[in-house]
Amino acid sequence: MSVRIAAIAALLVLGSAAQAHDFGPDIARYQQVAAIKKLDSKEAIQARLALERAQGQMDQADTKMLLRIRSLTNAGLRELGEQPAFLSSEYKRLEAALANPKTNDLAKVAKAREIFAQLNHEKPVYEALETEAVENMKQALKLIEAAPSR
């Protein structure tokens, strides 16, 4: 089990810059606490489950939602005659491009506004997934700390 946790920690530490929350320190703390706990206890098993859920949720948010947000943002920028941007600045660029479009094509501006509205709908979903993943990580740490010692 510790090899798998170490692999997860390594992936988190070496993961992409797009990841909004770095679980590296949380994983390290989890490993430190787990080293002195009875890993087959009910609490430790529940902690591991919470850890896996947190990682799965963050993976889902990072891959599915960020790619979706990026796709929508870039589509809106293209409609307005802008070049796609890096993820960190795409949302703000699309918002600015909508305020002062380079195109006079009202259909393209309308399409970009629709995309921006959809982006505003998708972004909170990603943020909620991230928040839930962080809460699951906190739960994993609490549960492993409550597990009986060896």
Number of domains in the chain: 1
Cβ(21)–Cβ(113) under 8 Å? Answer: no
pLDDT tens sequence across 17-69:
344 567 788 888 888 998 999 888 998 888 888 888 888 888 877 787 777 88
**pLDDT the model gives residue 99:** 94
Helix (H) or strand (E) holding 90: helix 87-99
User: Residue 114 is part of which domain span?
Assistant: 2-146
Residue 131 pLDDT grade (very low, low, confident, very high; cuts 50, 70, 90): confident
**pLDDT the model gives residue 13:** 37
**pLDDT the model gives residue 102:** 93
The answer on pLDDT for 90 being more than 80 is no
User: Residue type for 37, please?
Assistant: K
The Cα-based distances of 40 to 1, 8, 37, 43, 148 in angstroms read 11, 20, 9, 8, 10
Helices (H) and strands (E) counted in the chain, each on its own, are 6, 0
Mean of the per-residue pLDDT values for the chain? 79
